[in-house]
Amino acid sequence: MPSSAPPAPGDSPASAELRGMSRMIARSRHETHRAATPLELLFDLCFVVAVAQANSRLVHAFAESHWQQGITGYLAVFFAIWWAWMNFTWFASAYDTDDALYRVVTLVQITGVLILAAGVPRAFDDGDFTLAVIGYVVMRLALTFQWLRAAHGSADPAERRVARRYAAGLVLTQLGWIGMLFVPDAVRGYVFVALMLAELAVPVVAERDWATHWHPHHIAERYGLFTLIVLGETIAGATIAVQQAVDGDGHGSLDGLVPLAAGGLLIVFCAWWIYFAVPIHEHLASNRQGFVWGYGHFLVFAAAAAIGAGVELAVEQTVGEAHLSERAATAAVTVPAALFFLVVWLLHARHFKRTMVQQLTLPAGALAILLCTLAGSAGVPLAGVAAALTVAVGHTLSRRGAQAVAA
């Protein structure tokens, strides 16, 4: 029979499970060499499908000049994608036992992700969230089971109480999403916003008097890896758009496409640079920092993904397939790029800047990128140059600041 004894000092739940342990026990916040697991990476990769679907619908909406529908639809579906990913990530950081049951339940969550991804086009284009909600319910039922398992495995009354609050919150919000499918179209948008706020409130209420044992370095790595995946999807989408444009129009559009592709790639490279320039795990000391930082990444991920959609749109405009102006196509790249730089400064960089000049570098760079919108067709390449200059100046100032502190 499996043992129900607690793990030995310094032992992880995963290694204890190998000895036949069956209880789900929280991992230590101070566990050394904590890193993302192959299962977590597989889980993240499944979200690429959903992000690609959202980007594709955003490009289509903007190409037809349906700006309001595109923005609201994109934010709605991206919230569903981000929130589903985020809930699993923080739970896994605290309770990843990596036993057979945990893996099977995670497979159920992955199934829900794919159903959600399949429902993105309907939700975006027609406001039909039926399939997306089905996928969401599959994911959330699996996560509810995980929280109940964590409650059952804990010997701490406070920890059990928090786990049960999470489970109850998940069930209540899922009933709300199911109920949203039956409300009139005229009020569905308001119900959606209310349910978004309810979802965001669940962790805050659940952990108001006891914090789960999430691991700062592990969380920082998981967010960083998802940022890379989103940026990778941006590059892939832009590459396919350029390929299709060249195949469909011969070589006549290369003069416009090459600078556009180079500018987009430079922006993505600079976005990677500034995101990973600081050891953010050193800032994540408690739930106070964790909630702000974790929630703020909705804008980071959404902006990073939207950069790729913007590049695709700029490519379509260049070859005459999008019904919008050069300046509007440029804005589809520069606005999310500027937003990415600004939000990363708010969440990351400002905590590690020592002088006013260092603090102003990224906001000034974001403004410079945004001003490139005025350049029309040359805006994307210029935005790439502005992003590169921002990184170069910021890197130089940071090195000088570090040398001054060391001296």
45 in a structural domain? yes
Query: Could you tell me the CA-to-CA distances from 222 to 219, 229, 275, 297 in Å, in that order?
Result: 5, 11, 13, 12
* pLDDT of residue 55 exceeding 50: yes
> How far apart are alpha carbons 348 and 356 in whole angstroms?
16
Question: Do residue 220 and residue 153 come from a single domain?
Answer: no
Structure confidence by residue, pLDDT tens digits, 195-214: 999 999 999 999 998 888 89
One-letter amino acid of 385: V
Q: Please provide the size of the chain in residues.
A: 407
Arithmetic mean of pLDDT, 91-114: 92
Contact in structure between 114 and 45 (CB atoms under 8 Å): no
Question: Do residue 79 and residue 170 come from a single domain?
Answer: yes
Structure confidence by residue, pLDDT tens digits, 272-307: 999 998 788 877 878 888 888 999 999 999 999 999
Torsion on CA atoms 250, 323, 255, 265, rounded to nearest 10: -110
Contact in structure between 297 and 335 (CB atoms under 8 Å): no
If we measure between CA atoms, which residue out of 53, 114, 113, 380 comes closest to residue 242? 380
> How far apart are alpha carbons 329 and 69 in whole angstroms?
16
Arithmetic mean of pLDDT, 345-363: 82
Contact in structure between 159 and 210 (CB atoms under 8 Å): yes
Which residues constitute the domain of residue 255?
216-406
> How far apart are alpha carbons 367 and 370 in whole angstroms?
5
> How far apart are alpha carbons 366 and 370 in whole angstroms?
6
Question: Do residue 197 and residue 224 come from a single domain?
Answer: no
Question: Do residue 286 and residue 355 come from a single domain?
Answer: yes
> How far apart are alpha carbons 115 and 182 in whole angstroms?
20
Of 206, 239, 273, the last residue of a domain is: 206
If we measure between CA atoms, which residue out of 340, 322, 302, 306 comes closest to residue 377? 322
* Burial state string for 88-121 with b = 16 or more CB within 10 A and e = fewer than 16: bbbbbbbbbbbbeebeebbeebbebbebbbbbbb
1 in a structural domain? no
Of 206, 225, 260, the last residue of a domain is: 206
Arithmetic mean of pLDDT, 168-188: 93
At residue 68, the pLDDT reads 84
Structure confidence by residue, pLDDT tens digits, 299-345: 999 999 999 889 888 888 888 777 788 888 899 999 999 999 999 99
* pLDDT of residue 3 exceeding 70: no
pLDDT-derived band at 407, boundaries 50, 70, 90: very low
Q: What tokens were used for 176?
A: 């709300």
Structure confidence by residue, pLDDT tens digits, 5-43: 344 444 454 444 443 446 888 888 888 888 899 999 999
One-letter amino acid of 390: T
Question: Do residue 113 and residue 166 come from a single domain?
Answer: yes
304 in a structural domain? yes
18 in a structural domain? no
Residue 117: its H or E element: helix 100-126
Domain count for the chain, please give it: 2
Cα torsion angle, 276, 279, 283, 284, sign: positive
* pLDDT of residue 2 exceeding 50: no
Which one-letter DSSP state was computed for residue 281?
G
> What's the predicted TM-score (pTM) here?
0.86
Question: Do residue 225 and residue 331 come from a single domain?
Answer: yes
Torsion on CA atoms 342, 343, 345, 347, rounded to nearest 10: 170
Residue 365: its H or E element: helix 356-371
CA angle 192, 176, 83 (to 5 degrees): 60
Question: Do residue 151 and residue 220 come from a single domain?
Answer: no
Of 206, 241, 271, the last residue of a domain is: 206
150 in a structural domain? yes
Question: Do residue 353 and residue 397 come from a single domain?
Answer: yes
Question: Do residue 193 and residue 225 come from a single domain?
Answer: no
Question: Do residue 196 and residue 220 come from a single domain?
Answer: no
From 50-64, 88-102, 252-266, the region with the lowest mean pLDDT: 252-266
pLDDT-derived band at 232, boundaries 50, 70, 90: confident
